[in-house]
């Protein structure tokens, strides 16, 4: 071998390396050899574009279709890196799944609207080798235009490695290019956004809907012939519930282009793109419209209107249906339609005499629709000044406040009405400010806490708080609890220091409801001062909340030791001691690290290491019981009862969902009483701050973190006596009924093939809480019953609608859980209380429907799958003390 040939081999090796290198990582300028779409070249490909949809795990029979066609790419003009491609999509033909197919689950060709659509060649303008714009023949149906955009998007690529923002049929994405070999590279798209399409989501960790997408295209080149041999594009989108990840849908869309022929065509003249285009247009006399690569949404406009749908679903919307599944399902249907309905149509439903008995439910729905149109329609009918409209006003305001998609214009409108209108009755006014606060908080969850509305609302509440006198202040504290703004912490700490004991309790409740990360040094210092009463005496509830707060952060060994010593002290605030003791036990059951710390402190301390020291008297309880555990989330019931003189001073039963570190209180039922000590035999001389309030008792609900206006059972002594003697509260009465939206997701995903997938998930909770209280002074007993019935339905659809085929997969999951809390109290001697918490059997159903239709044809494919799971009922064992008292009471 002579040196020359060695040199030659070396050079050609180097060259091929470089070639590879060019593809791999070189700057754009050097790709002189590779000139794809050379002017005058013509390449013909076979296109197959397939869409399959299925349930999340893609394990059962899917539905779907594909379109095949021949595609000819003619490069009719070119200068450097600028080109004009004329592309022809020949005879696109729909194939669908059919039993008649030769292979099981195979595809057969089927007639469709696609066959008759106008379909002329279109132009792709490349500038600097990237697709700049499309010129589509005028008046082609949208489905056809979208398919063409999907096809043209395959030509949106670059042949050097790197990451870049790119627009194509998937929207605006981050495109990552990597080389697999000299002649092959992949384009991976991520973070695709389509800001022009509607998008609704619930930001909550547990209630959110997860969407996982993957998009990858593989390009295979023929380097010698300067041509693309094939493009294989694959993408998939999984949508599922965060709270239960096995429930969801799956869609995949693949496009495959394979070279079948090459040829030559004649080109047109022109110094630049514009000149060439002018020539071309005068030559062919086709009228074009300029388009981007992004496809457009097809709407078929055959949806029923809101008012029609209300007519259809009327029976499911009646009050009697609340707490059931059919109520939840109808609620979802109406929200889906109502979000795009106009004011006039909504007003028609509100005004109809036939809907008189459903108005409360309609206001629920309209609160969750929360569009400008729906709000204007409601404001035509609802008069906040009118006391008679209290129930309607509150249902509307509650729904607005719980919706995860608050409308800033509606917040501002309500705030204006709140501040300007002095004729609004007190109760509605309180509900208004509570709702405004909650809406502002939810808005900050979506758009960060810089939004102006949030600042306006915060200022308004603080101003009102500063001007209010005495008990009028309380509602603004509650509003701050809904606002959850960390900016208010310094002010609250000041109130704890200087305000009345009751104001201190309200402030602690607000701080406790803020996410832990906002509890800084100052909060923890104040918590310590409050619990140990280092600066002054505090209300017992302030002390117990402060203790909970200390226990929920990484409590120092020293503080925990102080707390344990307090439990062993001779202080007579038995209920506080018992409550804290129970909280420590509950925490120790949940967290092994904490448990070890407690045991170490006790073991190493002679005083504490004595059983009798740490078993305080008192009937307060704190406990947590699991009612659900799955891979995706855990659910528990947390019951906290702080007693005073034998009756509940501050009690709550909370339904809490947890996922990894996120905790969500779905529902909380709180009971409170105050100023009642003088009615009860004071059991031991409790060393506590005396109530300064007049007698009161009531119930406090919070739904998805939004506190509602408290319901008073009575206030003032006269009313209490009346109630007790006449027994009006002993009938079971509904306390709170409403429909609530849990999951709320709507997203349009632009598929690479030019079609658009609609992903819609709505979860509804139809809720009925009722209760009764019986108090007998004669026998000195009290009995209460609280019953919660709920219908929960989640419906998720993934659908692809075109004018030639419609495919959809839908999951629906539902359950009707019930919870019954009985409590019996006997205060004839030493007070004893027995609480029983039971959950009857329930049934979880999970159904899947897959449907495919071809418009204008009889073809309809439907696959259904039904799953049912029994969830056996349980009676929760609360704690030993309670069990002992129950068996003593019912012996
Ligand atoms: C989903 O299932 C279909 C049919 O069994 C299969 O062809 C396809 O490759 C699967 N997709 C994925 C991403 O696993
Ligand atoms: C609290 O303690 C846990 C476990 O010891 C630790 O992982 C975590 O970082 C601590 N958190 C803070 C805020 O100190
Ligand atoms: C509690 O004990 C302390 C000493 O530990 C004593 O000074 C105080 O008087 C006692 N208080 C009561 C109420 O017994
Ligand atoms: C435990 O405490 C009780 C009451 O204070 C006392 O009588 C007893 O001696 C203590 N036991 C121990 C082991 O210290
Ligand atoms: C549910 O609880 C169990 C036991 O505490 C825990 O191991 C698991 O990680 C939790 N699951 C989730 C999704 O948080």
Which DSSP string do the residues of 704-764 spell out, in sequence order? TTEEPPPEEEEESHHHHHHHHHH-GGGS-EEEEEEEEEEEEEEEEEE-TTS-EEEEEEEEE
- Report d(CA 777, CA 780) in Å as an integer: 5
What's the pLDDT score for residue 790? 82
Question: What is the domain count for the chain?
Answer: 2
Provide the whole-model pTM.
Answer: 0.87
49 & 188 share domain: yes
**Residues within 6 Å of ligand 4 by CB:** 610, 612-613
Closest ligand 2 atom to Cα of 554: 1
**Which ligand 4 atom minimizes the distance to the CA of 610?**
1
Dihedral angle, C-alpha 750, 756, 757, 759, nearest 10 °: 70
Domain boundary residue, one of 239, 268, 291: 291
The overall longest dimension of the chain from CA atoms, in Å, is 121
Report if residue 440 sits inside a domain. no
Do 173 and 231 reside in the same domain of the chain?
yes
**Residue 617 counted as domain residue:** no
Cα(59) to ligand 1 centroid in Å equals 8
Same domain, 276 and 163: yes
Q: Is 252 in the pocket of ligand 1 (CB under 6 A)?
A: yes
Query: What gap in Å lies between CA 174 and CA 194, rounded to an integer?
Result: 12
Measured between its terminal Cα atoms, the distance across the chain in Å is 108
Indicate if 76 and 9 belong to the same structural domain.
Answer: no
Q: How far is the CA of 112 from the centre of ligand 2 (A)?
A: 62
Find where tokens 């690479």 sit: 752
Q: How far is the CA of 597 from the centre of ligand 2 (A)?
A: 14
Of 243, 593, 629, the one to substitute when testing ligand 5's pocket (max ligand atoms within 8 A of C-beta) is: 629
CA distances from 854 to 66, 221, 249, 859 (A): 13, 37, 21, 6
CA of residue 76 to ligand 5 center, whole Å? 62
**Protein residue with least CA distance to atom 12, ligand 4:** 610
Q: Does 244 fall in a domain?
A: yes
Residue with tokens 């069990």: 883
Exposed e or buried b per residue across 477-513, where buried means at least 16 C-beta atoms within 10 angstroms of its C-beta: bbbbbbbbbeebbeebbebbeebebbbbbbbbbbbbb
What is the structure's pLDDT at 744?
Answer: 96
633 CB near ligand 5 (under 6 Å): yes
On whether both 135 and 182 belong to a single domain, the answer is yes
Q: What distance in angstroms lies between residue 64's CA and the mean position of ligand 1's atoms? A: 12
Which residues, in sequence order, are CB contacts of 78 under 8 Å at separation 6+? 37, 38, 39, 40, 84, 267
Tell me if 21 is assigned to some domain.
yes
State the Cα–Cα distance between residues 463 and 443, nearest whole angstrom.
21
The pLDDT of residue 575 is: 85
Look at residues 633, 627, 693, 698 and name the one whose alpha carbon lies nearest to residue 660.
633
The pLDDT assigned to 733 comes to 60
pLDDT value, residue 25: 41
Helix (H) or strand (E) holding 495: helix 489-498
- Ligand 5: atom nearest CA of 659 is 14
Q: How far is CA 22 from the centre of its chain?
A: 46
CATH number at residue 139: 2.30.230.10
CA of 658 to the centre of ligand 5 (A): 8
What's the confidence (pLDDT) of residue 690?
61
Same domain, yes or no, for 27 and 39? Answer: no
208 in a structural domain: yes
- Give the binding-site residues of ligand 2, using a 6 Å CB cut-off: 554, 593
Give the DSSP H/E element, type plus range, for residue 93: strand 82-97
State how far the Cα of 625 lies from the Cα of 565, in Å rounded to an integer: 28
CA-closest residue to ligand 2 atom 9: 554
Ligand 1: which of 50, 51, 52, 106 to mutate, judged by most atoms within 8 Å of the beta carbon?
Answer: 52
Nearest residue (by CA) to ligand 2, atom 14, is 554
**849 and 862 in contact (C-beta within 8 Å)?**
yes
Residues 103 and 17 in one domain: no
What's the pLDDT score for residue 9? 47
Q: Are residues 3 and 113 in the same domain?
A: no
Q: From the alpha carbon of 658, which atom of ligand 5 is closest?
A: 14
Q: 240 alpha carbon to ligand 5 midpoint, in Å? A: 19
- Co-location of 168 and 23 in the same domain: no
DSSP state of 40: T
Give the closest ligand to the alpha carbon of residue 609. Answer: 4
Atom 12 in ligand 1: residue holding the nearest Cα: 58
Task: Calculate the alpha carbon distances from 4 to 11, 17, 18, 809, 854 in Å.
Answer: 10, 19, 20, 67, 68
Of 568, 570, 610, best ligand 4 pocket probe by most atoms within 8 Å of the beta carbon: 610
Under-50 pLDDT residues of the chain = 1, 3, 6-32, 682-685, 721-727
Tell me if 524 is assigned to some domain. Answer: no
Quick one: which atom of ligand 5 is closest to the CA of 634? Answer: 1
Where do the H-state alpha helices sit in 448-520?
Answer: 452-467, 474-483, 489-498, 501-513
Which residue, 575, 541, 639, is CA-closest to 837? 639
Q: Is the CB of 629 under 6 A from ligand 5?
A: yes
| pLDDT given at position 819 | 81
Tokens matching residue 83: 């080109």
| 58 Cβ inside 6 Å of ligand 1 | yes
Q: End of a domain among 276, 291, 306?
A: 291
| 104 Cα–ligand 1 center, Å | 15
pLDDT at site 874: 85
**Is residue 43 in some structural domain?**
yes
**Domain-ending residue, one of 247, 262, 291:** 291
DSSP state of 18: H
Cα–Cα distance between 656 and 666 in angstroms, integer?
A: 6
Q: Are 19 and 106 members of one domain? A: no
pLDDT at residue number 469: 92
Report the alpha-carbon distance of residue 312 to residue 360 in Å, rounded.
17
Q: Kindly give the number of the ligand 1 atom that is closest to the alpha carbon of 58.
A: 1
Residues 129 and 238 in one domain: yes
41 and 14 housed in the same domain: no
Closest atom of ligand 4 to 613 CA is 2
Identify the pLDDT of residue 380: 95
Q: Which atom of ligand 5 is nearest to the CA of 632?
A: 13
Residue 696 lies in a domain: no
Q: Which residue has the tokens 């285009």?
A: 277
603 CA distance to ligand 2 middle (Å): 23
Residue nearest ligand 4's atom 1 by CA? 610
Residue range(s) defining the domain that contains residue 23: 1-33
Distance 634 CA to ligand 5 centre (A): 6
Residue 554 CA, ligand 2 centroid: distance in Å: 6
- Looking at residue 660, the DSSP 8-state letter turns out to be T
What single-letter DSSP state applies at residue 195? T
pLDDT of amino acid 718: 57
């Amino acid at each position: 071998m002579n040196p020359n040939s060695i040199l030659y081999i070396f050079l050609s090796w180097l060259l091929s390396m470089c070639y590879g290198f060019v593809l791999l990582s070189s700057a754009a300028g050097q790709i002189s050899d590779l000139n794809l779409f050379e002017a005058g070249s013509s390449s013909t490909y076979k296109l197959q574009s397939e869409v399959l949809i299925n349930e999340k795990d893609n394990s059962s029979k899917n539905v779907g279709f594909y379109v095949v066609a021949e595609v000819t790419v003619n490069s009719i003009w070119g200068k450097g890196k600028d080109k004009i491609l004329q592309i022809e999509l020949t005879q696109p033909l729909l194939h669908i799944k059919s039993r008649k197919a030769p292979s099981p689950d195979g595809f057969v060709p089927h007639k469709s609207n696609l066959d008759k659509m106008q379909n002329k060649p279109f132009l792709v303008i490349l500038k600097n080798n990237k697709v700049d714009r499309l010129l589509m023949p005028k008046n082609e149906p949208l489905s056809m235009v979208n398919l063409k955009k999907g096809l043209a998007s395959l030509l949106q690529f670059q042949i050097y490695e790197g990451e870049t923002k790119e627009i194509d049929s998937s929207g605006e994405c981050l495109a990552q290019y990597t080389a697999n070999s000299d002649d092959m590279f992949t384009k991976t798209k991520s973070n695709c956004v389509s800001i022009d399409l509607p998008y609704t989501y619930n930001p909550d960790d547990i209630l959110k809907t997860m969407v996982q997408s993957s998009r990858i295209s593989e390009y295979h080149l023929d380097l010698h012939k300067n041509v693309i041999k094939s493009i294989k594009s694959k993408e998939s989108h999984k949508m599922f519930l965060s709270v239960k990840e096995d429930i969801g849908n799956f869609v995949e869309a693949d496009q495959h282009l394979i070279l079948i022929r090459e040829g030559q065509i004649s080109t047109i003249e022109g110094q630049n793109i514009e000149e060439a285009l002018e020539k071309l247009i005068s030559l062919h006399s086709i009228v074009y419209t300029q388009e981007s690569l992004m496809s457009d949404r097809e709407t078929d406009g055959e949806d029923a209107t809101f008012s029609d749908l209300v007519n259809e679903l009327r029976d499911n919307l009646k009050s009697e249906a609340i707490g059931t599944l059919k109520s939840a399902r109808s609620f979802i249907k109406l929200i889906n339609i109502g979000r795009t309905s106009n004011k006039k149509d909504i007003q028609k439903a509100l005004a109809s005499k036939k809907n008189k008995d459903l108005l409360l439910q309609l206001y629920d729905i309209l609160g969750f629709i929360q569009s400008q149109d729906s709000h204007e329609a409601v404001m035509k009918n609802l008069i906040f000044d009118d006391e008679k409209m209290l129930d309607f006003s509150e249902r509307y305001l509650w729904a607005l406040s719980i919706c995860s998609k608050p409308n800033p214009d509606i917040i501002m409108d309500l705030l204006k009405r709140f501040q300007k209108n002095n004729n609004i009755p007190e109760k509605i006014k309180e509900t208004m400010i509570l709702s405004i606060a909650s809406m502002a908080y939810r808005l900050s969850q979506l758009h960060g806490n810089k939004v102006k509305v949030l600042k306006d609302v915060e200022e308004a509440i603080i101003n009102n708080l500063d001007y209010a006198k005495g008990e009028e202040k309380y509602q603004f504290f509650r509003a701050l609890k809904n606002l959850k703004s960390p900016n208010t912490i310094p002010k609250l700490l000041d109130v704890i220091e200087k305000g009345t004991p009751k104001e201190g309790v309200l402030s602690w409740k607000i701080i406790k409801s803020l996410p832990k990360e906002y509890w800084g040094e100052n909060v923890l210092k104040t918590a310590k001062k409050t619990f140990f009463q280092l600066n002054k005496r505090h209300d017992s509830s302030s002390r117990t909340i402060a203790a909970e707060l200390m226990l929920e952060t990484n409590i120092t060994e020293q503080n925990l030791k102080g707390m344990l010593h307090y439990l062993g002290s001779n202080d007579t605030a038995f209920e506080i001691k018992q409550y804290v003791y129970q909280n420590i036990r509950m925490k120790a059951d949940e967290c092994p690290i904490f448990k070890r710390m407690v045991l170490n402190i006790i073991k190493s301390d002679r005083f504490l290491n004595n059983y009798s020291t740490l078993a305080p008297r008192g009937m307060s309880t704190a406990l947590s019981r699991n009612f659900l555990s799955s891979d995706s989330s855990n659910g528990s019931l947390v019951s906290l009862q702080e007693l005073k003189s034998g009756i509940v001073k501050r009690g709550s039963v909370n339904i809490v969902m947890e996922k990894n570190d996120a905790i969500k209180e779905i529902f909380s039922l709180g009971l409170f009483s105050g100023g009642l000590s003088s009615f009860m035999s004071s059991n031991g001389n409790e060393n506590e701050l005396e109530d300064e309030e007049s007698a009161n008792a009531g119930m406090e609900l919070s739904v998805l973190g939004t506190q509602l206006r408290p319901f008073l059972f009575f206030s003032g002594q006269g009313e209490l006596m009346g109630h007790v003697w006449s027994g009006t509260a002993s009938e079971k009465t509904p306390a709170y009924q409403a429909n609530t939206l849990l999951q709320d997701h709507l997203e349009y995903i632009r598929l690479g093939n030019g079609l658009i997938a609609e992903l819609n998930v709505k979860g509804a909770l139809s809720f009925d809480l009722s209760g009764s209280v019986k108090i007998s002074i004669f026998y000195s007993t009290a009995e209460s019953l609280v019953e919660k019935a709920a219908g929960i339905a989640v419906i998720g659809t993934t659908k692809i609608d075109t004018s030639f085929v419609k495919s959809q997969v839908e999951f629906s999951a539902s359950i009707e859980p019930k919870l019954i809390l009985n409590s019996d109290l006997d205060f004839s001697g030493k007070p004893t209380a027995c609480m029983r918490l039971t959950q009857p059997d329930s049934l979880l159903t999970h159904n899947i429907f897959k449907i495919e239709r071809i418009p204008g044809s009889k073809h309809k494919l439907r696959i259904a799958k039904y799953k049912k799971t029994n969830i056996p009922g349980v009676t929760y064992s609360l704690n030993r003390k309670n069990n002992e008292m129950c068996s003593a009471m019912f012996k």
